[in-house]
Chain A
């Protein structure tokens, strides 16, 4: 094994593991009986096999190929391509997330800079933060009266807390020396905020943003199952109602892949703002 680098060995192992799992999955599903041998009742209940509904990986791969080769087709409200559904979800996540960032980061700055603001706002943050974002949904639907906007609101409310708390924490933790450097160079408040405090707190702030985007992506699936219409969450639920488990498994995989991509984008950003002392 000395010829292969550590990364190559790990990649090889990953592929073997994936193949192994797929093979076990494929062969643990009994082949459906020929339709002629089934009674009418068995046909109606799905083939009379206990696991008849769970598709083997070969079918899922086939589905993925079919869906990904034409991701943006639109054949009516209940039949849209996976690309369109994911596009809707990403649009909602990014809108709600951007609104949250616009509020959380300046507010976090304020809380981090002023201990009075921190003490005044902390009780509210502590009460609001543990509320499950979906608990806001009925209220949002009633007040906003628009399911699309309500989903965005739910994303907004769930992604605001990690960003707010991390920004406040990062700003409060900026080393006194660096602030003194700004003071002895007669930098104004705004210039100090942008040239000293923001870069100093950036790693902590971006960590908060990364946690937030992860939570937002978790929550959008559940929110779309509730509000319906479009989006990857709605797609999963719709395919469940269609008893199309192949599509359900395929969309679960897609949720994971998109979540990973979003997270790694923030991983890149995190690396860009990191510094070592």
Chain B
């Protein structure tokens, strides 16, 4: 674990419960993320996903545990860790372009103005925003466009780690689909490491290399790390045809609906999540006739 690009070690978050005791949101969460990986974290509300995200962003302090990036402990917010917030967090008095140049100018202070604008415009174009649109204020843009600006701002900064906090949570299903496509496009052009919170299982399968599953809070833990064994480039329409798709999806749904108490019992004492690899296709080739999806638990 220590060799990962980003390693989260024994992270716990407790709050006073108002009666003299303590309320533990999550405990001993440990996992790693490799460079260039796209990792999604899934879990029910209240399991502390957003808290983990805020700790990674440096906006919150954990009660105990450390986050190490490139071998160094992380403290406080930094331009190395970009954040896309659920509610876009664009500055409403600036135009879309200015919202992006704001970030780029902070990231690359020695660039001249023309270079900042050129770089920002290029990233806005990557998420499909060009022409007049980029000079509009956020209030004159639709929710989907605003989130595109927010994504462009984050990618334009080329952070070492990009954190996405339910970026599509407030969007309707159709818009969500197109922006997921934009996100994949921008991401595949870069070798950006991404950590994303989502509530949407299909979205997680479409986007992620690996999905981390959290058990229910309180005392939540990161229980499983599910590899998505579907080759890229993935495409919303074709991905459902892949034999692994429903096997993985079923596994995720079952984990989330079980309330995951059994999983906690089985991984007692282990700090890192159990790695789960579901690959119906290679099983099928190996055994000639397709069996029921099988779980291969490998200690990480």
Q: Which residue of the partner chain, among B58, B77, B89, B93, contacts A199 with CB atoms under 8 Å? A: B93
- Chain B residues lying within 8 Å of A276, measured Cβ to Cβ, are 92, 137, 139
* Inter-chain contact A185/B79, CB cutoff 8 Å: yes
Please, which residue of chain B has its CB at the minimum distance from the CB of A199?
B93
Say if the beta carbon of B91 comes within 8 Å of chain A: yes
B106 touches which of A178, A186, A199 (Cβ 8 Å): A186
- Chain A: CB-nearest residue to B79: A186
Binds A, one of B80-88, B246-254, B273-281: B80-88
Q: In chain A, residues 182-201, which have Cβ atoms closer than 8 Å to a Cβ of chain B?
A: 183-187, 195-196, 199-200
Residue A69 at the B interface, CB < 8 A?
Answer: no
The reply to whether A186 and B139 form a contact with Cβ atoms under 8 Å apart is: no
Q: Which A33-92 residues have a C-beta within 8 angstroms of B?
A: none
Pair B91/A277 contact, Cβ less than 8 Å: no
Q: Which residues of B contact A181 (CB under 8 A)?
A: 85, 89, 91
Q: How far is the CB of A111 from chain B (nearest CB, A)?
A: 23
| B77 and A177 form a contact (CB under 8 A) | no
Q: Are B85 and A177 in contact (CB under 8 A)?
A: yes
Among B81, B89, B139, the most chain A Cβ lie within 10 Å of the Cβ of B89
By the criterion CB–CB under 8 Å, are A275 and B137 in contact?
yes
Contacts of A178 in B (CB 8 A): 89, 91
Contact with A along B127-152 (1 / 0, CB 8 A): 00000000001110000000000000
- How many inter-chain contacts with C-beta < 8 Å in the A-B complex? 55
Give CA–CA (A202, B87) in the complex, Å: 22
Q: Are A186 and B92 in contact (CB under 8 A)?
A: no
- Residues in A with CB closer than 8 Å to B102 are 185, 195
Closest to B90 in A: A181
- Chain B residues near A183 (CB-CB < 8 A): 58-59, 77
CA distance A196 to B98 in the complex (A): 13
In the complex, A30 Cα to B213 Cα: how many Å? 93
For B91, what are the chain A residues with a Cβ–Cβ distance below 8 Å? Answer: 178, 181, 196, 199-200
Known A275-B137, A276-B92, A277-B139; contact A180-B59, beta-carbon cutoff 8 A: yes
- Enumerate chain A residues within 8 angstroms of B83, measured Cβ to Cβ: 180, 184
- Contact assessment for A184 and B93 in the assembled complex, using a CB-CB cutoff below 8 Å: no
Smallest Cβ distance from B221 to chain A, in angstroms? 27
Task: Compute how far the CA of A144 lies from the CA of B87 in the bound complex, rounded to whole angstroms.
Answer: 54
- Complex: A184 Cα to B106 Cα, angstroms: 10
Question: What are some 29 contacts across the A-B interface (CB < 8 A)?
Answer: A178-B89, A178-B91, A180-B77, A180-B83, A181-B89, A181-B91, A183-B58, A183-B77, A184-B57, A184-B58, A184-B59, A184-B77, A184-B78, A184-B81, A184-B83, A185-B79, A185-B107, A185-B157, A186-B78, A186-B106, A195-B102, A196-B91, A199-B91, A199-B93, A200-B93, A273-B93, A275-B137, A276-B92, A277-B139
Show the binding face of A for B, using Cβ within 8 Å. 177-178, 180-181, 183-187, 195-196, 199-200, 202, 273, 275-277
